[in-house]
Chains A and B, each alone.
Chain A
Amino acid sequence: MTFEEFVARHGADLLRLAFVLTRDRHLAEDLTQTALADAYRHWRRVVAATDPPAYVRRMLVNAHLSWRRRRWTREYPVEVTETDLVSPVEPGDAIASRDALRELLAGLAPRARTVLVLRYYADLDDAAIAAAMGVTESAVRATASRALALLRTAAETEVKEIR
């Protein structure tokens, strides 16, 4: 498999994952290109891996977390601009609910958010998430559990406030 063939086959998946992680089109492109550039430089290692897409996905996740560490002080875009994300037309309640959820997600630590994205978007099991993030499975479970608990608590509080 050549590098170009790999990108043709898996580039879109990586870009979508990058976009869900960053929620920024330019950042997602940059992140994906960075991961692919790393893959290109170590191409022999990539093709020798048991699961090349997982190998490159790990590069992408690492780059994302590394960027997030460096930009931790940067303001996270809670309100997504129209050019960044155009939601399909939905009933008002659903939009409000999703916006609220986005806001809650934005308040999570980058690692916690990444675990949730890998679990609920990429559909990875804990072992695969652990491999992608370079942590243990128990750390993944603990992080996910805490993040979900936070989201649940925040959501319940919101419901009570509305009532």
Chain B
Amino acid sequence: MSHQVEHELRELFATDATQAPGTSGLVGGALRKVRRRRRTRLAQVTAAVVLLTAGTLTAAVTRPRPDTSGPDTRALPATAAPSASPAPTRSPNLDAVASCAFAYSPAEVARRAFSFDGTVVAFAPRKRRPPQGVRAPGIQYEVTFQVNQWFRGGSGDRVTVTMPRPGNTGFDEDGANTADYAVGTRLLVSGEPWKSRQDQVRKPLDDPLAWWGCGGFTRPYTPQDAALWAEATQ
């Protein structure tokens, strides 16, 4: 009986196989799926980056500034100019982010709370909740770096910063913003402590959040960029 069932199964499957459809559209269909998946992923990543950066920029824009006697020489784009009245606590201003209130330059990196040259040694999904009042999709990762050189804001051998999840390649067509990572990847990282609107000025490495996009505040390591960052942050 046992062999009979097995024999029947073989015959049944073999007969079924002869009725399989033709292979004419396989390559085209597979490549269409690849393109569709890339478009979906691109849209998801873009939305995630916008939301993630939004929290940081909104906090940075509304951060109470010290009352100095001299003029503040820091260049703030119009879209990011702080308003005269205190902003209400609400979701991040996506318009301000969409226009990249802070475009990348070594000088702008020097204005970030922290910046360093580091090599990824570990990463894992972030377990802590985002600061109160900051909307962020649940895809942040906590990435631990072996620091090769601090430019600003820290001094230890290791630091853990919050970043988008790995695999975020391709969201910037010219590649300038792309800073995908894996264990062993060497990056130049800059950013700010992640904070809500209510937070007062914090230490540079209080819940550090890497800035992503807008020209490459976090970018693959190159000696040239590292030299520019070092010069700008001196």
B72 proximal to A (CB < 8 A): no
**Can you report 9 A-B residue pairs in the complex whose CB atoms are below 8 A from each other?**
A15-B20, A19-B16, A20-B13, A32-B30, A40-B31, A84-B19, A85-B16, A98-B12, A121-B10
Chain B residues 13 to 49 lying within 8 A of chain A, measured CB to CB, are 13-21, 23, 25-27, 29-34, 37
Query: Does the CB pair B33–A12 fall under 8 Å?
Result: no
Q: Are A101 and B12 in contact (CB under 8 A)?
A: yes
- Indicate whether A148 sits within 8 Å of B20 (C-beta atoms), given known contacts A15-B26, A121-B10, A121-B14: no
Give the chain B neighbours of A97 by CB distance below 8 A: 8
List chain B residues, Cβ under 8 A from A91: none
Are the CB atoms of A16 and B26 closer together than 8 Å?
no
Residues of chain A lying within 8 A (CB to CB) of residue B29 = 29-30, 33, 36
Interface residues, chain B, with chain A CB atoms under 8 Å away: 1-2, 5-6, 8-21, 23, 25-27, 29-34, 37
- With both chains docked as a complex, state the minimum distance between the C-beta of A140 and any C-beta of chain B, in angstroms: 15
Is A57 positioned at the interface, with any CB of B under 8 Å from its CB?
no
A88 within 8 A of B: yes
B23: A residues at CB distance < 8 A: 7, 11-12, 15
A31-61 interface with B by 8 A CB criterion: 32-34, 36-37, 39-41
> In the assembly, what is the distance between CA of A148 and CA of B3, in Å?
10
**In contact, A37 and B2 (Cβ under 8 angstroms):** no
* A76-132 CB contacts (< 8 Å) to partner B: 84-88, 97-98, 101-102, 105, 116-117, 120-121
For B15, the chain A residues whose CB sits under 8 A away are 87-88, 98
Q: How many A-B residue pairs have CB under 8 A?
A: 103
Q: For the complex, give the distance between the alpha carbons of A23 and B19 in Å.
A: 9
A153, B80: Cα distance in complex, Å: 74
CA distance A117 to B13 in the complex (A): 7
6 more A-B residue pairs beyond the given contacts A7-B27, A155-B5, with a C-beta to C-beta distance below 8 A: A12-B20, A20-B13, A29-B25, A33-B32, A98-B8, A155-B1
**Across chains A and B, which 10 residue pairs bring their CB atoms closest together, nearest first?**
A121-B13, A36-B30, A37-B33, A19-B20, A33-B29, A120-B9, A16-B20, A16-B17, A11-B23, A37-B30
Known: A15-B23, A155-B1. A40 touches B34 (CB 8 A): yes
Q: Is A151 an interface residue (CB 8 A)?
A: yes
Report if A20-B27 is in contact (Cβ < 8 Å); known contacts: A151-B5, A152-B2.
no
> Counting CB contacts under 8 A, is A133 at the interface?
no
Q: Which chain A positions have C-beta within 8 A of B19?
A: 19, 84-87
Tell which of A19, A39, A84, A155 has the most Cβ of chain B within 10 Å: A19
A residues within 8 A CB of B9?
A: 101, 116, 120, 151
Q: State A25–B25 Cα separation when bound (angstroms).
A: 13
A148 to B8, CA, bound (A): 11
Q: Is A4 an interface residue (CB 8 A)?
A: yes
Give the complex CA separation of A3 and B95 in angstroms: 42
Verify B26–A36 contact, CB threshold 8 A.
yes
Chain B residue numbers with a CB within 8 Å of A23 are 16
Residues of B within 8 A of A84 (CB): 19
Q: Which residues of A contact B30 (CB under 8 A)?
A: 7, 32-34, 36-37, 39-40
B16 partner residues in chain A, CB cutoff 8 A: 19-20, 23, 85, 121
Distance of A157 Cα from B25 Cα, bound (Å): 44
